[in-house]
Structure 1
Amino acid sequence: MKFTLTKQDDLSGGQASIYSVRLDAQSETLLERFVVENRTDFIDEVKELLVRLRQIGHHTGARETFFKPAEGRFGAGDGIEALYDADGKHLRLYCIRNGRVAVIVGGGGPKTTRTWQEDPKLTYENKLLQLVSKTMIKALKDSDIYWSNDGLELLGNLTLDTEDYR
């Protein structure tokens, strides 16, 4: 599977860069797909998540308190986190956070079960981001992609093929 890490310029700012994932030759990123899928039933929550991402990019950076850690595969060190959802909220949005300066946003959906493993949609979205994370980790190790000195920019060939990093 090929994917491209795409900087979300409207959300990124001086405090953090926000990226999303565009699969193969699809026209929309996982974040854009998440918005489309959830804007009818959860418009207020979608808006809140986008405001939070913009706030992270422009004002606060990716503070640890904004994220729920260890949302990926147990013990895998894949860095999957969820943008924090307050009590009474329904949506879960999966991310990979690089300190306080960068966030790679994947997909997600309504959380209707206790764990993501119990929900087919959340399982798909989480495992997809796990594959992206695994590929990114290997590409970073091989120096095919790398962070700028300030950690704000992901540089190199941002189109990756999971087959190249098995």
Structure 2
Amino acid sequence: MNYCIEELSQLSGSAAGIYTIRIEGEDKTEFSKFIENHKEQYKDEIKDIVARLKIMGKEEGAREHYFKDKEGCAG
């Protein structure tokens, strides 16, 4: 599977760049698909996610407290 990394310019700013991926051959990014798939059922949560990403990009940067360390598994 090939993909490209794209900056979300509406969320990025001087504090951090916010990125998503687009799978080759698809029109929408994974971020756009996530928003579209969940906006009706999780409207408030989606607004919160977008607001936090905007704060990260434009004001605070990608601070450690935004991430869960040592969770999940690599690739």
The equivalent residue for 1:14 is 14
1:29 aligns with 2:10: no
Q: TM-score, normalised by structure 2?
A: 0.93
Residues paired across the two proteins, number: 75
Q: Distance in 1 between matches of 2:3 and 2:53?
A: 21
- State the alpha-carbon separation in 2 of the partners of residues 70 and 30 from structure 1: 24
Higher relative contact order at CA 8 Å, sep ≥6: structure 1 or structure 2? 2
Structure with the higher strand share, 1 or 2? 1
Name the Cα RMSD after superposition.
1.0
Counterparts of 2:72 and 2:49, CA distance in 1: 20
Distance 1:56 1:50 in 2: 10
Taking structure 1 as the reference length, the TM-score comes to 0.44
* More helix, by proportion: 2
Distance 1:68 1:33 in 2: 23
- Identity of matched residues, %: 32
Runs of 5+ unmatched residues, structure 2: none
* Displacement after TM superposition at 1:25 (Å): 1.4
Segments of 5+ residues of structure 1 without an aligned counterpart are 79-129, 131-166
Larger radius of gyration: 1
